[in-house]
A and B are shown apart, each in its own frame.
Chain A
């Protein structure tokens, strides 16, 4: 397994010191290593200095990760929403749709990455298709649950007021289904952030590529893994906030 990447050592520090000391003598080298924390790095340790000086390398993968997540969940939601409306209108389509999405959900995404490659090649496209396929079941199931939970009395009242099917759907059923829909969105988003760490297998980049590059280097694992967890937590809270704003009449628990 590759150790820390040599070129990523704290360079600035070293160059400022090397002008004073002769780095070729062994004792000077030891001294230099202690000052720059190289022992920590060669021991694959947790080195705050290294993290501070190498933080740049996490920025791009971090945004790649956000990109993969947002695009996948966005497309997944659009598809799942359409499928749910279809199943809501034509009840008989419910079983086949839920069956197919459930199979897509069960196939591990890491396997999907490789099974898709002959068609979609290596790169973001493969990663996104696999992640979208994964989100469909979660979103579809939650949207359906939300729509089914709308009480019959409320719908009857809407009908009585003369609402058409379309009006009933958009003004009564969907708003009342919003808690379940957003709950599904939260689950899908956090799960996708986790799965996107494997997107590098499909050539999709993201934080997982960095984790895998230096799998045994504590500093790297803590930063890259920590960023992924942080991202999941932030998105979770964002959607929770959205839920509160969208439904001020209903205070949702933080669970």
Chain B
């Protein structure tokens, strides 16, 4: 293709697919171009956001509550193990075969996928909060809801956000196979190569990758903004640093 980005080889063609409309491989239809890519990206983000928001609204409070009461550890931890064992494609296929296609069913599948990291990490995050801090809060006369909102939640934020990012990445990745259920996400060019061709597939794959990395980055920035100043002193990472930091406590409590 004689475009200025031709030197990028196959990826130049894919970028060209994003920038300019063209006729489909099978002929007859106009495909690609910013308009279609925007529309597909919009759908992709919409169905993903609905699922993640629902999971956060329901399971973040539940995780905080269970963590605070130190109850339901088995539930909170095994939901993660079960969640990992069920392949997203199998879950989607199961929903399609038994409940049919459509936006609601796809959102339900993505919702189920989003739950485990949010619930487990919230629970673990609250549990690893220093008991002395909680005792101090009690001594100051805080009630349960104040302790949860003003002590446990802020101190658990890094781990909760790590879970939220895991959920988001998994949901955005799985939304790519949503076209199998007639929900037109960025997976459309990927699942219909006969119409969209290699360039379309590759273009969609690039946009999916960029959107996912972008969402991860945005969540990291949000985390940084809402983390209370005092907690930023030891810039948290979800990876281990040198020993003897507060993260040792987290690791000891993490489910093996």
A 181-233 contacts with B by CB, 8 A: 183, 187, 190-191, 193-198, 201, 208, 211-212, 215-218, 221-222, 224-225, 228-229, 232-233
A255 touches B176 (CB 8 A): no
Q: Does A62 contact B (CB under 8 A)?
A: no
Of the listed stretches B23-31, B50-58, B137-145, B206-214, chain A binds B206-214
Chain A residues with CB below 8 A from B208, complex form: 108, 110-111
Interface residues of B (CB under 8 A from A): 9-11, 74, 77-78, 81, 84-91, 93-94, 96-98, 169, 172-173, 176-177, 180, 187, 190, 198, 201-202, 204-206, 208-209, 212-213, 216, 237-244, 248, 251-252, 255-256
A198 touches B77 (CB 8 A): no
A211 touches B206 (CB 8 A): no
Q: Does A21 contact B (CB under 8 A)?
A: no
User: Considering the chains assembled together, what is the distance between the CA atoms of A165 and B170 in angstroms?
Assistant: 40
User: Considering the chains assembled together, what is the distance between the CA atoms of A144 and B240 in angstroms?
Assistant: 7
Chain A residues with CB below 8 A from B251, complex form: 145, 149, 180
User: Considering the chains assembled together, what is the distance between the CA atoms of A31 and B199 in angstroms?
Assistant: 51
Q: Does A72 contact B (CB under 8 A)?
A: no
B190 touches A228 (CB 8 A): no
Interface residues of A (CB under 8 A from B): 44, 94, 98, 103, 106-115, 117-118, 141, 144-145, 148-149, 151-152, 179-180, 183, 187, 190-191, 193-198, 201, 208, 211-212, 215-218, 221-222, 224-225, 228-229, 232-233, 236, 252-253, 255
User: Considering the chains assembled together, what is the distance between the CA atoms of A253 and B216 in angstroms?
Assistant: 32
Could you show 19 A-B contacts with beta carbons less than 8 Å apart? A107-B212, A108-B169, A111-B173, A111-B206, A111-B208, A112-B205, A149-B248, A152-B243, A187-B84, A190-B85, A194-B86, A197-B87, A198-B88, A212-B89, A215-B97, A216-B97, A232-B87, A253-B255, A255-B74
A217 touches B97 (CB 8 A): yes
Minimal Cβ-Cβ distance residue in A for B238: A141
B206 touches A190 (CB 8 A): no
Name A118's contact: one of B9, B93, B204 (CB within 8 Å): B9
User: Considering the chains assembled together, what is the distance between the CA atoms of A187 and B9 in angstroms?
Assistant: 37
Main secondary structure of the interface of B (DSSP, over half): helix
Chain B residues with CB below 8 A from A115, complex form: 202, 205-206, 209
B176 touches A111 (CB 8 A): yes
Given A108-B173, A111-B212: A193 and B87 interface contact (C-beta under 8 Å): yes
7 closest A-B pairs (Cβ-Cβ)? A225-B90, A108-B173, A114-B205, A232-B85, A194-B87, A197-B87, A111-B205
B85 touches A211 (CB 8 A): no
Chain A residues with CB below 8 A from B241, complex form: 148
User: Considering the chains assembled together, what is the distance between the CA atoms of A98 and B238 in angstroms?
Assistant: 10
Residue of B9, B98, B238, B255 ringed by the most chain A CB atoms within 10 A: B98
Distance (whole angstroms) from the CB of A206 to the closest CB of chain B:
10
Distance (whole angstroms) from the CB of B123 to the closest CB of chain A:
12
A-B interface pairs (CB < 8 A), number: 153
User: Considering the chains assembled together, what is the distance between the CA atoms of A110 and B173 in angstroms?
Assistant: 7
Chain A residues with CB below 8 A from B216, complex form: 106
Distance (whole angstroms) from the CB of A54 to the closest CB of chain B:
16
A110 touches B87 (CB 8 A): no
Chain B residues with CB below 8 A from A201, complex form: 190
Given A118-B10, A145-B240: A108 and B212 interface contact (C-beta under 8 Å): yes
Distance (whole angstroms) from the CB of B45 to the closest CB of chain A:
14
Name B94's contact: one of A98, A118, A222 (CB within 8 Å): A222
A212 touches B180 (CB 8 A): yes
Chain A residues with CB below 8 A from B252, complex form: 149
Distance (whole angstroms) from the CB of A4 to the closest CB of chain B:
12
**Given A194-B87, A194-B88, A232-B84, 19 extra CB contacts under 8 A:** A98-B237, A108-B173, A110-B173, A110-B187, A110-B208, A111-B209, A112-B209, A114-B205, A117-B198, A148-B242, A180-B251, A194-B86, A197-B89, A197-B90, A212-B93, A216-B96, A225-B90, A229-B86, A253-B256
A114 touches B190 (CB 8 A): yes
Distance (whole angstroms) from the CB of B61 to the closest CB of chain A:
23
Distance (whole angstroms) from the CB of A32 to the closest CB of chain B:
25
Name B89's contact: one of A117, A144, A180, A208 (CB within 8 Å): A208
A221 touches B85 (CB 8 A): no
Name B239's contact: one of A98, A193, A233 (CB within 8 Å): A98
Residue of B78, B198, B201 ringed by the most chain A CB atoms within 10 A: B201
A229 touches B212 (CB 8 A): no
User: Considering the chains assembled together, what is the distance between the CA atoms of A152 and B9 in angstroms?
Assistant: 52
Chain A residues with CB below 8 A from B9, complex form: 118
Distance (whole angstroms) from the CB of A131 to the closest CB of chain B:
13
Chain A residues with CB below 8 A from B89, complex form: 197-198, 208, 211-212, 225
Minimal Cβ-Cβ distance residue in B for A230: B85
